[in-house]
């Protein structure tokens, strides 16, 4: 008689915003200003239309169909309400949810609108985290464990040219993935991936009040002086890039639960490793350590919810080496913020929150969803670890890993130059071992230059860490969660 399926409960506590996208966006016609300009609200269209008379419905439909001569000239819903003031109270009584943020205004007083990438929701409009997203986290962690256990064999199978294709698709190198997970089919119709023995449910649905609009922010690494961003007065944001890209995301401080089932038949393919509760916790902790040592430690990561200015970090090195208590308030005025106390030695929590440590068992950090960046979803960190035995901090980095990743990223985001005007920069890029592309039009250096040719000099690739900005000054690592495993 076969072994029984192992049943577990996974608990994710969001430490940063989590976005799992649908491909759709919320536009300027979907939201409006509330609270005297201090907030933005998403309209419940069905509820709004149900309260309108026929003339008002006709006016609203005409507004929706008007795209303007150009999209940026089309009216937003806030403009529509300014023209139909009698409908503002109806709109304010027809909210899906509201977020605390101010829309920037132009000189003429009109608002600057933006599109927001929507997150996945159930048929009732409630956000959730799909089981496939969490299964992807477990798959990557298990693959990194297998690689670290037999690094020579996996490094032999590594090919940069095959990674170029698979990294674009958010997957590991095909040869490596196949060696780790693919087995001969028992029946022709059977899948040959051993991860078929792992099943993760979708999370319990959340409340729309758990959502926020999150602006994309790329934090520069410690070694990056950001000289390319300084203006003639020596000013400019030298900590990172704030981008005009917004994602609808689950807020920090939200607890999410999912069910995990593991068929023990997977163990026969794991070279003596047992994927039970202890095994799960081990691979998750190993993945967090790899991410921290090979990537996050190269950044001055600000405290969760703090400003992203350089020098504003708490002294921790991100990932699993942060010395502050990992407790995140789930309710009250500090919801989404981390405890400011120092963790007790050998634990992740302060004395006040040690109960959280025992309740969450061996919880650790992972990164879930979209916008979290290259390093958390790929395996180069496990393939080419830092040289921890080197004599200097500058040497404790894998030149092989940085070189490989930088070339993969440069292939996707090449530097484009008008060499007739930027010949010196072109030579600098070429001297670093890369081939810039000729721009199709003359003029200034383009914003599409992601500077991956500088990654070896900066000792980390990619040289930006993906963060999200909520409100006017709160910054978080995108997708960062604490994950714990319990039997059920």
pLDDT of residue 187: 59
Give per-residue pLDDT as tens, 134-180. 999 999 999 999 999 999 999 888 877 655 554 544 444 668 888 89
Give the integer Cα–Cα distance in Å for 265 and 191: 14
Q: Is 393 exposed, middle or buried (0-12, 13-18, 19+ CB in 10 A)?
A: exposed
pLDDT of residue 319: 43
pLDDT of residue 69: 46
Contact 120, 352 (CB under 8 A): no
Give per-residue pLDDT as tens, 262-292. 999 999 999 899 999 999 999 999 999 999 9
The helix (run of H) or strand (run of E) holding residue 284 is helix 277-294
Give per-residue pLDDT as tens, 216-238. 999 999 999 887 766 544 456 67
pLDDT of residue 235: 54
Give the integer Cα–Cα distance in Å for 398 and 388: 9
Radius of gyration of the chain (CA): 24
Quick one: tokens of 207?
């409340």
Contact 42, 96 (CB under 8 A): yes
Give the integer Cα–Cα distance in Å for 410 and 396: 23
Contact 262, 197 (CB under 8 A): yes
> Using alpha carbons only, what angle is made at residue 195 by residues 189 and 197, rounded to the nearest 5 degrees?
80
Beta-bridge mates of residue 464: 220
pLDDT of residue 437: 83
Give the integer Cα–Cα distance in Å for 400 and 294: 12
Q: What is the DSSP letter of 297?
A: G
For the chain (length 488 residues), average pLDDT per consecutive 10?
Answer: 87 96 94 92 96 96 78 81 95 93 86 94 95 97 95 86 51 74 69 90 95 95 81 63 94 96 95 95 96 93 70 44 65 65 65 58 84 93 81 74 93 81 79 83 59 93 95 90 94
Show the DSSP H helices in 158-232 as ranges: 160-168, 174-181
Contact 169, 409 (CB under 8 A): no
Contact 422, 445 (CB under 8 A): yes
Give the integer Cα–Cα distance in Å for 8 and 334: 30
Residue among 125, 137, 101 at smallest CA distance from 18: 137
How much is the pTM? 0.85
pLDDT of residue 387: 77
Beta-bridge mates of residue 215: 246, 469
What does each C-alpha distance from 22 to 140, 232, 251, 280 come to in angstroms? 22, 42, 17, 29
pLDDT of residue 168: 46
b/e map 363-380, b = 16+ CB within 10 Å: bbbbbbbbbbbbbbbbbb
Domain boundaries, the chain: 6-18+129-207+252-396+462-487, 28-113
Which pairing describes strands 437-438 and 255-262: parallel, antiparallel, or unpaired? unpaired
Residue among 110, 95, 109, 178 at smallest CA distance from 143: 178
């Amino acid at each position: 008689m076969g072994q029984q399926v192992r049943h577990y409960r996974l608990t994710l506590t969001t430490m940063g915003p989590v976005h799992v996208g649908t491909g759709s966006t919320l536009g300027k016609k979907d939201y409006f200003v509330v609270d005297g300009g201090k907030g933005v609200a998403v309209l419940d269209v069905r509820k709004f239309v149900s309260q309108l008379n026929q003339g008002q419905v006709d006016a609203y439909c005409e507004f929706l169909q008007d795209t303007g001569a150009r999209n940026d000239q089309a009216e937003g819903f806030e403009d529509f309400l300014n023209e139909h003031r009698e409908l503002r109270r109806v709109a304010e009584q027809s909210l899906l949810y509201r977020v605390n943020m101010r829309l920037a205004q132009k000189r003429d007083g009109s608002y600057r609108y933006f599109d927001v990438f929507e997150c996945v929701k159930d048929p009732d409009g409630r956000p959730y985290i799909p089981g496939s997203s969490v299964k992807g986290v477990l798959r990557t962690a298990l693959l990194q464990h297998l690689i670290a256990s037999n690094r020579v064999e996996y490094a032999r199978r590594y090919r940069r040219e095959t990674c170029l294709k698979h990294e674009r698709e958010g997957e590991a190198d095909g040869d490596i993935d196949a060696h780790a997970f693919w087995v001969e089919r028992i029946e022709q119709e059977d899948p040959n991936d051993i991860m078929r023995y792992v099943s993760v449910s979708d999370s319990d649905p959340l409340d729309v009040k758990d959502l926020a609009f999150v602006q994309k922010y790329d934090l520069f690494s410690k070694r990056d002086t950001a000289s390319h961003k300084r203006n003639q007065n020596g000013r400019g944001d030298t900590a990172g890039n704030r981008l005009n890209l917004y994602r609808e995301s689950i807020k920090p401080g939200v607890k999410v639960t999912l069910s995990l089932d593991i068929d023990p038949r997977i163990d026969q393919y794991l070279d003596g490793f047992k994927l039970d509760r202890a095994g799960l916790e081990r691979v998750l902790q190993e993945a967090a350590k790899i991410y921290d040592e090979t990537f996050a430690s190269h950044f001055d990561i600000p405290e969760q919810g703090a400003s992203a200015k350089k020098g504003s970090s708490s002294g921790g090195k991100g990932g699993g080496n942060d010395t502050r208590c990992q407790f995140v308030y789930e309710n009250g005025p500090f919801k989404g913020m981390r405890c400011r106390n120092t963790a007790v030695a050998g634990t992740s929590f302060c004395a006040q929150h040690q109960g959280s440590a025992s309740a969450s068992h061996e919880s650790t950090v992972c990164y879930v969803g979209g916008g979290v960046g290259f390093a958390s979803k790929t395996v180069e960190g496990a393939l080419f670890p830092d040289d921890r035995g080197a004599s200097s901090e500058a040497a404790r980095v894998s030149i092989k890993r940085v070189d490989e990743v930088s070339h993969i990223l440069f292939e996707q985001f090449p530097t484009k130059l008008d060499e007739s005007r930027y010949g010196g920069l072109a030579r600098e890029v070429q001297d670093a071992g890369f081939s810039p592309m000729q721009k199709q039009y003359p003029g200034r250096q383009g914003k599409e230059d992601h500077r991956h040719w500088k990654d070896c000099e900066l000792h980390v690739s990619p040289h930006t860490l993906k963060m999200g900005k909520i409100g006017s000054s709160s910054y978080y690592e995108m997708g960062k969660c604490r994950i714990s495993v319990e039997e059920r």
